[in-house]
Structure 1
């Protein structure tokens, strides 16, 4: 049952997985309540990991950004869709070597880090993420490659991204355009799929039943958490919630992360995190 009350009877919480955009910051602006909450949880010994659909930043970028807002974390506490996409290509398509990428430099780097060649010459797979320099030519190459048999992979289906002043189109908007042109549906690696959540859980070392998923989007964050068997918390600081009866509802709704009560007595001791 979804709770809208500020006096929520919170279950034992020993670990936290959280989205970033719309939860911890909006665009380039940190959300003060969120930074305060994560700092408090960190001091209480509650392990947490961020799982972000944003493929435009590396874990090191996120670490630097949060440090500038007063929250110090390790790169191992960040799982991105770029890294997840590269791992998926290597695991599910080990025979592929040539990849065409539409996305930020971090997505290109993630592909190269696992030994893939990023090229627009006869690519065997097209990987799409958020590209703020998108052009018709890039879309043409992607469409032509997919029609010629290239595997189609998307980092995430997010149609909107919250900014400091409003919203901007997300990766899902351009991925949807290519899917419409080719009539080929991509394999999505980010939320609402669960690979990033499972990776985050393995890094935390906490039990599924006492780990919560925090997000600002029901179609992605909440569905991923639900599919992974976690209690889910929707925070209303990001993308506006649209009613969709076909989607699983969050277990809790809060307007600020300050409302989430994690007792120090309940906190699990963080295990040694991988570098």
Structure 2
């Protein structure tokens, strides 16, 4: 039976440290300020933004949510981002995705000042990540949180065969880069990959981010593998579940993340930590 990686308790530890660092900045007259822009009425996005706002307030971080109508034009959104880029009191900017169809998401990401890029999605920051120049570089929050899990549970990555299932810019690609930077041998598989099962079965480290409930079954996992489930799905009964068949896979894995209370809590905690980092780097 595998050891459960407790993302909820680790996130709480990170939050506690973030709160201390926030207070230290305030004692020096600096209040970290995160601005989140929400365009439209997407229900999931509203929940995510509300959770981010609550966490920021809990940790003493100034949080501003700018709500824009669903018919907002690309030009209007870009103008708002430009305004925030120039505001010296704003340390971190996040535009909640997805955006309405009339707005080009890449143009929006490009418009954010890389030094205020709370999500770590700007091409400048992505490039620095792939060059392993991340001393003062924001990095996508979910992969960053996963790396903290490896560190906390003393899971060595050096020389390990790591497989990332999924190639999104939010998880898959930055995750692959972080694993490479940690000297793992990395394979990225996706919807066009042939013989996917043969590849995942060889993984010492398996990170799954497909958005498909129970996509990875026990027969696709190597005995003793470390399995990280990034999925947040609903099963046929509407119950929250992951991309991995947890009940069966935990019998084979050495470490595994549950859903919920696994990777999920880490993402917002790393966003808050990154807001503090962006604030310190700008001083």
TM-score, length basis structure 1: 0.41
Greater helix fraction, Structure 1 or Structure 2: 2
TM-score, length basis structure 2: 0.40
